[in-house]
């Protein structure tokens, strides 16, 4: 990506490379979220990435790479998927990005660390995101109606992710795990009652690292 671009231009160009056409308001809110992450990170350890430009690539664009596939999945559902659970959300990745770009979805972020859940509540308030909710809880003890999509980003192995969140899936729900290069190896450790429907490669602009989405669902009886 050309170094002479400012942050807004880099984000817009990167999003376009992912097939996303984001309006000015969405670009501004994504950068406002990045700025909140930077500010809170000075006090709380929300992310190891501290450079503002690197956050655009490693956090915003990396999470935006899941938006197109998620939209396609939701559009194919009858009724359409409306509730998404982001497990081990941390600083809100990908949950905040999904809520910002897909206002038709209700996105619930859950994390066991209180300060991270508090940060996400502040993000929802400051960015006026009524579709973004934060929970301070262990996902296995979460008391919520089922979710149409359960997602995570670098949360756990596929087998652990499935085991911890199986009870959170609504009937017909799916898992969408954002993974690095180890997804195929982890696939072998999945239980027989979990079906991998696709491992979808992602090309994140400027990242230079392998990314994919592992789509899974409970196997038919």
Express each pLDDT in 144-184 by its tens digit: 999 999 999 988 999 999 999 999 999 999 999 999 988 88
What does the block give as tokens for 61?
A: 């664009």
Let me know if residue 21 belongs to a domain.
no
Sheet with 106-111, strands from edge to edge, namely: 132-136, 106-111, 83-87, 147-153, 169-179, 211-218, 194-202
Measuring CA to CA, which residue among 146, 176, 166, 1 is closest to residue 72? 176
Let me know if residue 203 belongs to a domain.
yes
- DSSP letter assigned to residue 194: E
In DSSP terms, which residues pair with 152 in a beta bridge? 87, 177
Decide the pairing of beta strands 83-87 and 106-111.
parallel
Quote the CA–CA distance of 148 and 155 in Å, as a whole number.
19
Quote the CA–CA distance of 132 and 109 in Å, as a whole number.
8
Is residue 139 within 8 A of residue 69, CB to CB? The reply is no
Say which residues have a Cβ less than 8 Å from residue 16's Cβ, sequence separation at least 6.
Answer: none
Express each pLDDT in 67-102 by its tens digit: 999 999 999 988 877 999 999 999 999 999 999 999
Let me know if residue 18 belongs to a domain.
no
Whether 4 shows a pLDDT value over 80: the answer reads no
Domain harbouring 170, CATH code: 3.40.50.150
Let me know if residue 38 belongs to a domain.
no
Q: Domains in the chain: how many in total?
A: 1
Average pLDDT, the chain: 94
Let me know if residue 35 belongs to a domain.
no
Show the CA angle centred on residue 190, arms to residues 172 and 163, nearest 5°. Answer: 65
User: Domain residues for 195?
Assistant: 61-218
Let me know if residue 161 belongs to a domain.
yes
Q: What pLDDT sits at residue 144?
A: 93
Q: What pLDDT sits at residue 2?
A: 62
Let me know if residue 83 belongs to a domain.
yes
User: Band of the pLDDT at 203, cuts 50, 70, 90?
Assistant: very high
Q: What pLDDT sits at residue 98?
A: 98
Let me know if residue 25 belongs to a domain.
no
């Amino acid at each position: 990506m050309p170094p002479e671009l400012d942050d807004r231009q880099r984000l817009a160009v990167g999003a376009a490379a992912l097939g996303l056409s984001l309006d000015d308001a969405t670009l501004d809110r994504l950068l406002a979220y990045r700025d909140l992450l930077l500010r809170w990170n000075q006090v709380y350890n929300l992310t190891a990435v501290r450079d503002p430009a690197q956050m655009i690539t490693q956090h915003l664009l990396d999470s935006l790479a899941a938006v197109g596939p998620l939209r396609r999945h939701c559009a194919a559902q009858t009724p359409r998927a409306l509730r998404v659970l982001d497990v081990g959300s941390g600083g809100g990745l990908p949950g905040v990005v999904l809520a910002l770009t897909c206002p038709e979805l209700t996105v619930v972020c859950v994390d066991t660390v209180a300060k991270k859940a508090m940060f996400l509540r502040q993000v929802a308030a400051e960015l006026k995101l009524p579709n973004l909710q934060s929970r301070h809880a262990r996902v296995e003890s979460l008391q919520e109606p089922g979710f149409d999509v359960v997602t995570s980003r670098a949360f756990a192995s596929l087998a652990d992710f499935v085991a911890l969140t199986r009870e959170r899936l609504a009937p017909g729900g799916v898992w969408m795990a954002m993974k690095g290069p180890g997804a195929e190896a982890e696939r072998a450790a999945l239980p027989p009652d979990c079906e991998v429907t696709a491992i979808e490669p992602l090309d994140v602009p400027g990242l230079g690292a392998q990314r994919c989405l592992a789509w899974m669902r409970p196997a038919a009886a």
